[in-house]
Amino acid sequence: MKWLIWKEYRLNRLVLIVGAVLLVAPHAAALVLALRGVGLQVRGGLLLQLSGNLMVSGLYGMLLSQLTLALLGGHAIACERADRSAEFLAYLPVARTRILAGKIALALVTVALIWIPNLLIVRWAMAGLPEQGPRFYADIWSAFWTLVITGLAAFCVAWLLSSFLESPTFSICGGLVTPWLVLMALAFLVWWFEWPEQVIFLGYSITCLVLGPACFAAGTWHYLRRVEP
């Protein structure tokens, strides 16, 4: 199992490097700006400025993680067809389920390394800011939740497309575009039928929570049944 995870790491090394840069860069920028006296909280000292900056960088890091997750999902299976390693793996005495387990393990570790640090940073930053009203905290966690389910949808749609296509590029683009298409469709329906704006958030949450697992299950099923090459 270890060599399968190592194989997945080597195949997705560039994606993981991009993800690491996108994870660290916003927080590094927040720290540098705070040290230079630039931040949302212009008064109150370095700690207060850093707290304000890190709250923004945590959410911004979650936004950038959509790219990392789409890259990982779209690259997971299709990359083996692009570099012809799928043909080599097809002749090895390794169960397709074990290969799939390696891909899922790498994805879970990557997701944890993206979401958990950003969650802790946002939580710490909110604790370091002056007491705000309940609406402020509700808006922050609502934004965080929206970014989480968007990343889930982007990864799973890209995963599904990756199980069918030979080009990782199209799989990645599909994963990135789908959440925005859902959001625009809901916004159009709200405008057309004059529904309350809260329908957009509720409909988007439900759609992503249904679409994500459904696409992941469909992609997994197709990968296990597909004959490679």
Q: What is the pLDDT of residue 43?
A: 56
Return the residue matching tokens 């997750």.
69
Q: Which residues of the chain have pLDDT under 50?
A: 42
Q: What is the pLDDT of residue 165?
A: 86
Q: What is the pLDDT of residue 78?
A: 81
Structural domain tally of the chain? 1
As to burial, measured by CB atoms within 10 angstroms (0-12 exposed, 13-18 middle, 19+ buried), residue 2 is exposed
Q: What is the pLDDT of residue 128?
A: 74
Q: What is the pLDDT of residue 227?
A: 58
Element (H, E) at 112: helix 96-128
Peptide bond between residue 213 and the one before it cis (omega within 30 degrees of 0): no
d(CA 206, CA 95): 35
150, 72 contact by CB (below 8 A): no
Expressed as residue numbers, the domain containing 134 is 2-225
